[in-house]
Structure 1
Amino acid sequence: MALTVGDKFPSFVLPVQQGVSALPAGETIDTGDTGGKWKVVFFWPKDFTFICPTEIIGYGELKKDFEDRDAVLIGASTDTDFVHFAWRKSDERLAACDFPWIADNQKKLADALGIVDKDAGVAYRATYIVDPHNVIQHVTVNGLNQGRNPQEAIRVLDALQTDELCPCNWKAGDEVLKPAA
């Protein structure tokens, strides 16, 4: 069963890879730790593919925007930390995406979230926006063949952080809805 809005984001200590200065050396991340911040966690199916780098680069270009909103950006796939490292080393655009990449090669997190494609055995293109209390506030899941719009994660995060009623296509700076008293 897939986890959804209102559920706690699963807590696992998993291998993580970041940067290209050194081979992975056992670094980990605790997926249940928010550090008092929002988290935007996005999964892609596989490294060394075609759609995935466009999404990773798209999210990476918005890293500062997420930070400005007190949110941590975290990527993930079911590849190993060494595969992540090799992919980043092979593409300077991916090397520039300076945020942690979870190596969920045992599929602990992907299985707990309910996002593993049963035929391909890899994670769907799933995005989770998680509040500082580690509660999932937004989920989108795409199939394997269609990419996401990372800018939409910014728009949704902005709306969630207003704690107001935000109408269709609302953007930061737009009016929120005020019910009649």
Structure 2
Amino acid sequence: MLTVGDKFPALKLPVQQGVSALPNGETIDLGETNGKWKVVFFWPMDFTFVCPTEIVGYNDIKEDLSLRDAVLIGGSCDTAFVHYAWRKSDERLENADFPWIADNSKKLASALGIVNEEAGVAYRATFIVDPNNVIQHVTVNSLNVGRNPAEALRVLDALQTDDLCPCNWHKGEEVLDPKA
């Protein structure tokens, strides 16, 4: 599995966003950073139970990420058409307005090392990637345990300080000063 310090795979993959039209070959270039941080999270598969709670939770922090020069990207090993159908079936997901990678070839999930071979799906993995496309944080959960998007935001805040941040540190709190 790729980890902190590794380059995030610079792949160009199918992506689905919005429900105004059927997917039509749209792609996302993960090598492009445009000087921004990325929070990339994978869920096991569409039309399940835990996954929509996470998608909605990450969508809830999308604007906070934007204020921190970070973009939100989600994905699973489903196709763009399955993503589209799932979004159309659930208003909460329809409103989750960020790109959903359609990694049905498992090219990205395999490169990241997050495929659960037995289930044939991706683990619940979150990667925080800096503007140089270097992974700065990784969390991976089992298939049945949802994540806390607020924790991803907290970690991004800490990473962006370039300081020593103690346990449970939140933006605006004092950082550690080893010289004090």
Any residues of structure 2 matched to 1:51-130 within 5 Å, and which? 51-130=50-129
Task: Render the CA deviation track for 1:48-87: whole Å, top value 9, x for unaligned.
Answer: 0000000000000111000000000000100000000000
Aligned residues: 180
2:146 alignment counterpart: 147
Q: 1:180: how far off? A: 1.5
Q: 1:118: how far off? A: 1.2
Distance 2:110 2:32 in 1: 19
Q: 1:10: how far off? A: 0.3
Q: 1:159: how far off? A: 0.2
TM-score (norm 1): 0.98
1:169 alignment counterpart: 168
Distance 2:81 2:127 in 1: 24
Distance 1:138 1:32 in 2: 17
Amino acid at match of 1:106: S
Question: Which sections of structure 1, spanning at least 5 residues, go unmatched?
Answer: none
Task: Render the CA deviation track for 1:111-157: whole Å, top value 9, x for unaligned.
Answer: 00000001001000000000000000000000100000000000000
Distance 2:47 2:117 in 1: 20
Q: 1:11: how far off? A: 1.1
Amino acid at match of 1:155: R
Question: Which sections of structure 2, spanning at least 5 residues, go unmatched?
Answer: none
State the percentage of identical aligned residues.
77
1:22 alignment counterpart: 21
Give the root-mean-square deviation of aligned CA atoms.
Answer: 0.7
Amino acid at match of 1:166: C
2:3 alignment counterpart: 4
Matched position secondary structure for 1:159: helix
Following TM superposition, the consecutive aligned residue runs of length 4 or more in structure 1 with deviations greater than 2 angstroms are none
Amino acid at match of 1:95: E
TM-score (norm 2): 0.99
